């Protein structure tokens, strides 16, 4: 870690929060903050171009990777970028970030560190409906504000967070919006007045600014624990990841609610509202015959809904195996072909993470005498 140059050089197994912990004594931090930041690795963040609650203001992982050392699928070891922020020529680091392991393996990553904000103002606003909370997001952005974070949790997510970490939320709310302003003290003082006016115009049930650092941390503890906390409500759930334009958030949430009612499956909504990155959690009981198939069908319909609204089938969780058959809903055959050709330039033999992302590629080549290793062990395997 070099505090003067504001960079950290890490191996891929370093945990996300460890970077900020190492930088904190110098008044610095690493900005990307996925909900799983206490356990996820920088190598994984690079592979999926992870974002987090504060990506609205600070961008995704790709915006913070300055240099990379990697071994490609061809066996070649490459070094791109460095500690400097000025680059000439192709942005190889930007191309590698988000590659889902299809190019090779990162060995060493140079990360940009940023000064910690001087002041924070965190507000929890409760709304009678999820659609109202979504509309409030569009109003905040339309007012010219650029918060560090804009997050929404619905009633199911709130129920889970209450049970898991004893988080407190205004009664009578179907959804809460978390807005965090940050920056110089004088700027935040001006923006908080504007934010108060914008939120009031949306007729919230309650608006609760955090009075101190402890209350701010409590708000974020509830939000960051939401994914795992939903496990208290259901034995199984699918975490989906799609994107819609901000202006259509309210509409998207209304349609997801309709899908929940139609399918008979509960859906908890927790998402990065600032950039329209939805993370609906589809609850089901895998012990019931056909329950998984019904949940996956709903997950697929949500992805198609995102595409129809002008969005994407992934914001930060990638394509992998689960979504590869949906890739052609988002891209034309020519566009998919370009992606395959780019992948082949880095990994001509398809050795790196085979079977992922592209439709029709089949499962990874892990067969022996026609059986997958898990099938040989008697474990049910489904692609």
Q: What is the mean pLDDT of residues 42-59?
A: 93
Confidence of residue 363 (pLDDT cuts 50, 70, 90): low
Q: Name beta bridge partners: 179.
A: 123, 150
Confidence of residue 165 (pLDDT cuts 50, 70, 90): confident
Confidence of residue 225 (pLDDT cuts 50, 70, 90): confident
Confidence of residue 196 (pLDDT cuts 50, 70, 90): very high
Query: Comparing C-alpha atoms, which of 119, 2, 163, 159 is closest to residue 67?
Result: 2
Phi, psi of 24 (to 5 degrees): -55, -40
Q: What is the mean pLDDT of residues 310-324?
A: 93
Phi, psi of 258 (to 5 degrees): -65, -40
Listed range (114-123, 127-136, 319-328) with the worst mean pLDDT: 127-136
pTM of the model: 0.86
Q: What is the chain's Cα-based Rg?
A: 22
The DSSP letter of residue 365 is S
> How high is the pLDDT of residue 111?
98
Residue 184 · residue 119 · CB < 8 Å: yes
Q: What does the alpha-carbon distance between residue 243 and residue 33 come to, in Å, rounded to a whole number?
A: 18
End-to-end distance of the chain based on CA atoms, in angstroms?
A: 42
């Amino acid at each position: 870690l070099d505090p003067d140059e504001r960079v950290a050089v890490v191996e891929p197994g370093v945990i996300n929060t460890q970077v900020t912990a190492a930088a904190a004594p110098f008044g610095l931090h690493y900005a990307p903050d996925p909900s799983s930041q206490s356990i996820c690795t920088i190598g994984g963040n690079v592979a999926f171009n992870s974002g987090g609650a504060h990506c609205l203001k600070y961008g995704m992982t790709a915006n913070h990777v300055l240099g990379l050392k990697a071994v490609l699928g061809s066996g070649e070891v490459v070094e791109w970028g460095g500690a400097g922020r000025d680059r000439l020529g192709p942005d190889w680091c930007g191309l590698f970030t988000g590659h889902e392991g299809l190019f090779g393996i990162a060995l060493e990553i140079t990360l940009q560190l940023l000064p910690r904000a001087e002041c924070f103002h965190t507000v929890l606003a409760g709304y009678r409906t999820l659609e109202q909370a979504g509309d409030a997001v569009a109003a905040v952005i339309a007012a010219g504000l650029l918060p560090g974070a804009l997050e929404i949790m619905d009633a199911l997510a709130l129920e889970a967070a209450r049970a898991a970490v004893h988080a407190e939320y205004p009664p009578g709310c179907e959804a809460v919006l978390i807005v965090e302003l940050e920056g110089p003290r004088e700027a935040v003082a001006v923006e908080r007045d504007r934010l108060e006016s914008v939120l009031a115009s949306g007729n919230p049930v309650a608006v609760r600014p955090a009075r101190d650092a402890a209350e701010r941390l409590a708000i974020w503890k509830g939000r960051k624990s939401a994914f795992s906390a939903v496990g208290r409500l259901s034995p199984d759930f699918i975490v989906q990841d799609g994107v819609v334009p901000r202006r259509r958030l309210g509409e998207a949430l209304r349609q997801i609610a309709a899908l929940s009612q139609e399918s008979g499956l509960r859906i908890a909504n927790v998402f990065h509202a600032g950039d329209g990155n939805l993370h609906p959690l589809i609850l089901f009981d895998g012990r019931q015959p056909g329950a998984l198939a019904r949940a996956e069908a709903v997950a697929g319909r949500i992805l198609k809904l995102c595409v129809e609204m002008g969005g994407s089938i992934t914001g930060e969780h990638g394509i992998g195996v689960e979504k590869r058959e949906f890739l052609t809903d988002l891209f034309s055959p020519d566009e998919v072909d370009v992606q395959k050709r780019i992948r082949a330039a880095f990994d001509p033999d398809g050795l790196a993470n085979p079977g992922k992302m592209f439709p029709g590629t089949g499962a990874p080549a892990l067969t022996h005498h026609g059986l997958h290793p898990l099938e040989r062990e008697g474990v049910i395997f489904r692609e």
